[in-house]
Amino acid sequence: MPNLTNDRLAENPAPAIRAYLGGSFDPVHKGHLQMAMYVYQHLLPIAKQQQRALHVSLLPNARSPFKNESTNPKHRLAMLKLATLNTPLQIDELELWQAPPVYTIDSVRTLRQRYPHDSLIFIMGMDSARSLDKWKDGLRLTDYVDLWVFNRGGFSDSDNNLFDTNNHLADKKPTMQTLANLQTQLHAQLPIEMQNKTTDSPAELVALPTPTPTPTQTQADSGVLKNPHQGRIYIDPRPISAISSTQIRQQLQQLGNQPNIMPSAEAQITSIPSINDIIGNTESNPFAKWLNPAIYQYIIAHQLYSAAQFR
């Protein structure tokens, strides 16, 4: 006799859990991967308990509307593929090949249309979350997805403290009371309109939704397509490293501006410290702390972020 229970589970699997970390990834660095992997590792036991598929994806954008220059998408995609080798992380090219500007609100709406019953989480730093009222329809993101907000230690892309080891806040271990106080402080930094949507538990972001009829095309087109429950915001108070791709690019460009450093790809490879050197000597070349060696090698080979790139 067939197992009808298992057959029904196979035909109607539980809604998946999908989390997305968006950004330019220009270049992708270890801070990105640590953030995405932390979410994956935290959600995996929940997904297994609920017998749900888990997908954590990096969502590279075409070009941020806030940035004037962006590296060719093919290079950023190639670096992402190198960075995610031998990890459970995935890459979603939804935005990558679209003509800029591409706005997050449009992407999360598309994802909700694509996965109407799944739990959808958008991952971001507090530096982004506190400015959602300045994004295009940023306050409406929770109409379509839940938000997992990380504390980036109060730094932003405009900071120039890439190699100041005193600012690596992720290396410190705050107490539970400190984290609770910090979470309260971070809550107050959200736009006022978003403050009533916070939750203390990331488990609430993946609560199994109440089954609802599949939305009609008219609903989807009108923007009515939303989560079955109001989108929630989880503020993770543990500070993560405040490194940014902007800071890494600036440092690489400074290397490229040195005389006779990059007359050609071959000269660049011999002039800049080798992969073995950066792995074993983070003091003299702190790129080892932030860049996967394969990414560093790719940047050198393709002369990215150097003065030669813009000649």
Residue 213's pLDDT band (cuts 50, 70, 90): low
CA distance 146 to 236: 13
pTM for the complete prediction?
A: 0.78
* Highest-pLDDT range among 82-96, 99-113, 178-192, 242-256: 82-96
CA distance 110 to 113: 5
The enclosing H or E element of 180 equals helix 176-189
User: In the predicted model, what is the mean pLDDT of the chain?
Assistant: 77
User: What are the DSSP E strand ranges found in the chain?
Assistant: 17-23, 54-60, 90-91, 119-125, 146-151, 198-199, 233-239
Could you report the per-residue pLDDT of 51-96, keeping only the tens digit for each?
999 999 999 998 655 555 678 999 999 999 999 999 999 999 999 9
The DSSP line for 230-291 is: ---EEEEEEE-----HHHHHHHHHHHHTSTTS-SSHHHHHHHSPPHHHHHH-TTT-THHHHS
Residue 230: per-residue pLDDT: 76
| Mean pLDDT computed over 236-250 | 80
* Highest-pLDDT range among 36-40, 196-200, 214-218, 299-303: 36-40
Per residue, the 3-state secondary structure of 286-307, as one string, reads CHHHHCCHHHHHHHHHCCCCCH
Q: What are phi and psi of 259, to 5 degrees?
A: -60, 135
Residue 155: per-residue pLDDT: 39
Could you report the per-residue pLDDT of 122-176, keeping only the tens digit for each?
999 998 999 999 999 999 999 999 999 998 754 333 333 444 333 444 445 666 6
Q: 244 pLDDT exceeds 70? A: yes
Q: 44 pLDDT exceeds 70? A: yes
Taken as a whole, the chain contains a residue count of 311
Token pair for residue 164?
Answer: 């100041």
- Who contacts 41 (Cβ-Cβ below 8 Å, separation ≥6)? none
Residue 238's pLDDT band (cuts 50, 70, 90): confident
Residue 242: per-residue pLDDT: 67
- In the numeric block, the tokens 């809604």 are attached to 15
- Who contacts 31 (Cβ-Cβ below 8 Å, separation ≥6)? 240, 241, 243, 244, 290
- In the numeric block, the tokens 């109060």 are attached to 154
